[in-house]
Structure 1
Amino acid sequence: MTKTHPRILALFDVDDTLTAARKVVTPEVTARIAKLKNQITVGVVGGSDLVKQKEQLGEDVIHTFDYSFSENGLVGYHNGECINKTSLKEYVGNDKLNKFINFTLLYIANLDIPIKRGTFIEFRQGMLNVSPIGRNCSQDERDDFEQYDHIHQVRAKMVNVLRAQFADYDFTYSIGGQGGNDYEIFVHDRTIGHAVKSPEDTLRLLDTLFP
């Protein structure tokens, strides 16, 4: 079927946009995307790998969307065909990565914060996901740290230190949550960013923009 407006691209985040955070997409959202795909070009972009994207959006995600970008765009598919695949390690080099990771782990080790668990750095194709308390924490612990961090600015201070220490690295730093790793796309002068808080918000916005 020929799209009505093929040059219009709607690019979606995953968590809290197409799905609830870390949850699976609902049939309602899948059906709405299929309808939208008849009108315009649709794409999805996320920081997780393609395996995780498939877990949340379905095994056929590279066909459900015209464009599918995982690992912050370093792995890209168009109409089910791989069009790009690279990695942070190839771009930066192993020596620089080791220096950054070693420094960050030492910084976290010296942090005086209420709890620490495990998996403080998760290496992905397109990013390093750094967690001061560790990604093995429970959801309750994550929520508690969010409140603690709001007061003590642990992550913001760490980002400032990393920016200064590795000023010669071509890295972009984003703090998770609002203004996360999709923020650069959201504010780009070639896009019109729309803020939503849930899949339900997304459906309402789509009904307004593309009835």
Structure 2
Amino acid sequence: MDDFLQILRQKVKIGVVGGSDFEKVQEQLGNDVVQKFDYVFPENGLVAYKDGKLLCKQNIQGHLGEALIQDLINYCLSYIAKIKLPKKRGTFIEFRNGMLNVSPIGRSCSQDERVEFYELDKKENIRQKFVADLRKEFAGKGLTFSIGGQISFDVFPDGWDKRYCLGHVENDGYQTIYFFGDKTMPRCPGNGTERSSHPSLSTAYQLLTLQAQNSRIPGRQPLFIFGDRHVESCFPSLY
């Protein structure tokens, strides 16, 4: 994979974006990840590296303010207290750099308890009803509520999905940005939907093969941005 990336890098600029923190990105792609890619965007770009150097950091409390965060946390805890479930455990709200992760059952549940809640949620739409209530209560506050996984949902400022990283490259002169994300290839399912729907992006699986075969992509030098899990799981298919 590393050899392929460096060959590709001679022809185009390359970046990687993921929802995980920088340590997790290093674990997935190597401690020297900022040397392998022209851009590295952990936490969807809230932390940004360019040309091997830290560009900037952002966090949810600085953006939303403590008052709104406390209102949101208090409301979620109050709502959870009123839900009757077969089981409840601990860590109902996990505070992350770029989001709040809210779990009605609690993130410290066992795997069996996780599956039990997930099956119940599919029948009773527990998280869907929770999110609908939050959208009504916090309408106009600039918040996005995104259900994912089996036991929780995320709350983050509008635009703080993988599209956020585009703000770091919009003034760097790229005519075209190609995004290779989890849901942009049929063989690699995942959670890249929000990012791939951005109007300034094109998804083009064949471009990697064209570059590997020394074919030329028309126009000025483009930027290729890869989802972190996409690089890890799908690059072997390109050899």
Q: 1:81 aligns with which of 53, 57, 60?
A: 53
Contact 1:186 1:194 in 2 (8 A): no
Shift of 1:190: 1.8
Contact 1:71 1:124 in 2 (8 A): no
Deviation sequence 1:161-202 (CA, Å, 0-9, x none) = 111111121111111149987432121122235899977862
Q: Answer 1 or 2: higher relative contact order, Cα 8 Å, separation at least 6.
A: 2
- Structural mapping, 1:100-119, within 5 Å: 100-119=72-91
Q: Does 1:162 find its partner at 2:134?
A: yes
TM (norm. structure 1) is: 0.70
Distance 1:199 1:145 in 2: 32
Contact 2:29 2:232 in 1 (8 A): no
Shift of 1:156: 1.4
Q: 1:148 aligns with which of 117, 120, 126?
A: 120
Contact 1:187 1:193 in 2 (8 A): no
Deviation sequence 1:89-110 (CA, Å, 0-9, x none) = 0111001100001101111122
Q: Does 1:202 find its partner at 2:234?
A: yes
Gaps of 5+ in 1: 1-28
Q: 1:93 aligns with which of 65, 79, 82?
A: 65
Distance 1:147 1:160 in 2: 20
Shift of 1:76: 0.7
Range with bigger deviation, 60-69 or 75-84: 60-69
Deviation sequence 1:53-107 (CA, Å, 0-9, x none) = 2233332222232221122321111122111211110111001100001101111
Q: Does 1:130 find its partner at 2:102?
A: yes
Give the counterpart letter for 1:183 in structure 2.
Answer: T
Range with bigger deviation, 71-80 or 161-170: 71-80
Cα distance change of structure 1 residues 57 and 107 upon mapping to structure 2, 3 Å threshold: farther
What is the SS of the residue equivalent to 1:42? strand
TM (norm. structure 2) is: 0.63
Q: 2:194 aligns with which of 156, 162, 184?
A: 184
| Correspondence for 2:28 | 56
Distance 1:189 1:159 in 2: 26
What is the SS of the residue equivalent to 2:78? helix
Cα distance change of structure 1 residues 42 and 116 upon mapping to structure 2, 3 Å threshold: farther
Give the counterpart letter for 1:72 in structure 2.
Answer: N
Gaps of 5+ in 2: 150-181, 184-189, 206-226
What is the SS of the residue equivalent to 2:144? coil
Cα distance change of structure 1 residues 42 and 199 upon mapping to structure 2, 3 Å threshold: closer
Identity within the alignment, %:
44
Shift of 1:35: 4.8
Distance 2:236 2:128 in 1: 33
Give the counterpart letter for 2:194 in structure 1.
Answer: E
Cα distance change of structure 1 residues 54 and 203 upon mapping to structure 2, 3 Å threshold: closer
What is the SS of the residue equivalent to 1:172? strand
Q: Which has the larger radius of gyration?
A: 2
